[in-house]
Structure 1
Amino acid sequence: MKSITAKGKTVEDAVIFALEQLHTTREKVDITVMDEGKKGLFGLFGNRLAVVEVTVKKCPIEEAENYLLSVVRGMNVDVKVEKQINGKEVTFQLIGEDIAVLIGKRGTTLNSLQYMTQLVANRYATSYLQITVDAGSYREKRKQILANLAMKVANQVLRTKKEVALEPMPSYERKVIHHVLSKNKQIQTYSAGSEPHRHIVIAPA
């Protein structure tokens, strides 16, 4: 973490000097006034300079990316990370060989990586960031699998008139099921259970 202590005739002068030294802007730092300074008699005697400590804030996206890379490399998987930022939504795409290890059975390992990376990002963020961690475009493939599953189970429910509980899945996967079936007026979907066993139930309307 970059930090500098600066002095100036006024607090503002000290802050400006510190920002110039750190090559950054005011919104990217935390400012602590250590001494507001004092203007002496006739501006000549007893003057005391203002003192501030200016610290560059940690970037939540950079911290999240560094954490993700450290964990993945700790698993002895050589990858590079491409990130896409869309407002408060950030996607980290893992690219490399042996990424199947990072996905795990039905995405369980990837989901854990995403959960922990999101915790790290939001530890430093001033407003909530939605983090997605993907590998080999698994998320899009999984989305299509879930959509097909939703339609298949919905047809079963309509045929048997009996509700069906799906396996537990993370919230963003449950949203896919809800969305796919939202326009089917003969079907209703709702979530049941507690994390990490929360699941969707598909039932006749």
Structure 2
Amino acid sequence: MTQQNDASTETEPQEVPQPAEATDAPEAAEPRESAAPTEPVESIASSDAAAGDEADESSAADEDDQTGDDQTGDDQTAAAASERGEGGPSSRKEHLEREGEVAADFLETLLDIADLDGDLDVDIEGDRAAVAIVDSDEGRVPRRLVGQGGAVLEALQELTRLAVQAETGERSRLMLDVAGHRAQRRADLVESARVVIDEVKETGERRSLEPMSAFERKVVHDAVLAAGLTSESEGAEPRRYVVVLPA
């Protein structure tokens, strides 16, 4: 019996394939700067319009100082009177007299309630009704109705205007004075304005006055205009003031 030996076959070791050398990764491209987005035309127009509105508001404020009151309300009042056929001088005078009567009744009631002395004078100055609380035979008008810097007087005037508007249905430009405060203040302002006007004419340089109320600025503007110069208002309430300009 033949014995067969299995021959062990010797296998050659196989070469392990080497991994391919990694190639350098391509450099990442630098991100390109995107162009700044252009501002839409509508946005530019809106910005310009806003700037224009601010300039218009500033001009409107100066115009209010020149006229002493907001012209929009005056135009509406005139339009309402025209629709009723009340545009003539006679009817306008009657309307102002009516305003004065309503204001006097309101103020008389107010003085009675507060138990304060004072008589009422009613007049027409220019194109507005004028009412004054003056000293009476019974006693003097309390100066506290004027207040510091005329603050109480301004508030009382606004309250009286509202009472007149509630009765007549139209905006009122009525002027109220207490114990001659406005009359004296007007004279003082005109004198101060004349001094500044002379300085501007002599030096040729602009001059500024102290902060004033709308009524006081109106008095100064009128005095400057009468002297042949021009003026304008600068600043914001309550520190708004008049600047006198050289010719």
Could you say which TM-score interval applies, normalised by the shorter chain? 0.5 to 0.7
Contact 1:150/1:180 (<8 A) preserved: yes
**Counterpart in 2 of 1:165?**
208
Identity of aligned residues (%): 27
Rg comparison, structure with higher value? 2
The match for 1:90 among 129, 138, 145 is 129
**Counterpart in 1 of 2:117?**
78
Query: CA distance change for structure 1 residues 70 and 144 in 2, over 3 Å: closer, same or farther?
Result: same
Aligned residues: 147
User: For the residues of structure 2 that align with 1:98 and 1:135, how far apart are their CA atoms?
Assistant: 8
Query: CA distance change for structure 1 residues 129 and 202 in 2, over 3 Å: closer, same or farther?
Result: same
Q: Which runs of 5+ in 2 are unaligned?
A: 1-83, 85-97
TM-score by length of 1: 0.57
Comparing both structures, which one devotes a greater share of its residues to helix? 2
Query: CA distance change for structure 1 residues 197 and 75 in 2, over 3 Å: closer, same or farther?
Result: farther
The match for 2:223 among 172, 180, 185 is 180
Q: Which runs of 5+ in 1 are unaligned?
A: 1-26, 28-58
Query: CA distance change for structure 1 residues 121 and 88 in 2, over 3 Å: closer, same or farther?
Result: farther
Query: CA distance change for structure 1 residues 116 and 167 in 2, over 3 Å: closer, same or farther?
Result: farther
Contact 2:100/2:130 (<8 A) preserved: no
User: For the residues of structure 2 that align with 1:173 and 1:124, how far apart are their CA atoms?
Assistant: 28
**Structure 1 residue 82: deviation in Å?**
2.6
Contact 1:122/1:128 (<8 A) preserved: yes
User: For the residues of structure 2 that align with 1:133 and 1:182, how far apart are their CA atoms?
Assistant: 24
**Structure 1 residue 153: deviation in Å?**
1.5
Contact 1:60/1:123 (<8 A) preserved: no
Which residue identity lines up with residue 157 of structure 2 in the other structure?
Q
TM-score by length of 2: 0.49
**Counterpart in 2 of 1:13?**
none
User: For the residues of structure 1 that align with 2:162 and 2:182, how far apart are their CA atoms?
Assistant: 20
**Structure 1 residue 189: deviation in Å?**
0.5
Which residue identity lines up with residue 134 of structure 2 in the other structure?
I
> What do the CA deviations read for 1:45-73 (whole angstroms, capped 9, x no partner)?
xxxxxxxxxxxxxx765553344345545
User: For the residues of structure 1 that align with 2:115 and 2:210, how far apart are their CA atoms?
Assistant: 31
**Counterpart in 1 of 2:234?**
192
Which residue identity lines up with residue 128 of structure 2 in the other structure?
E
User: For the residues of structure 2 that align with 1:124 and 1:101, how far apart are their CA atoms?
Assistant: 27
**Counterpart in 2 of 1:153?**
196
Contact 1:165/1:199 (<8 A) preserved: yes
Which runs of at least 4 in structure 1 moved beyond 4 Å after TM superposition?
A: 59-63, 70-76, 85-88
Which residue identity lines up with residue 133 of structure 2 in the other structure?
L
Query: CA distance change for structure 1 residues 141 and 127 in 2, over 3 Å: closer, same or farther?
Result: same
Contact 1:60/1:120 (<8 A) preserved: no
**Structure 1 residue 201: deviation in Å?**
1.4
DSSP 3-state at the match of 1:130? coil
The match for 1:131 among 154, 174, 177 is 174
**Structure 1 residue 88: deviation in Å?**
5.8
**Counterpart in 2 of 1:201?**
243
- Tell which has more relative contact order, 1 or 2 (C-alpha 8 A, sep 6+): 2
Contact 1:88/1:129 (<8 A) preserved: no
User: For the residues of structure 2 that align with 1:158 and 1:194, how far apart are their CA atoms?
Assistant: 27
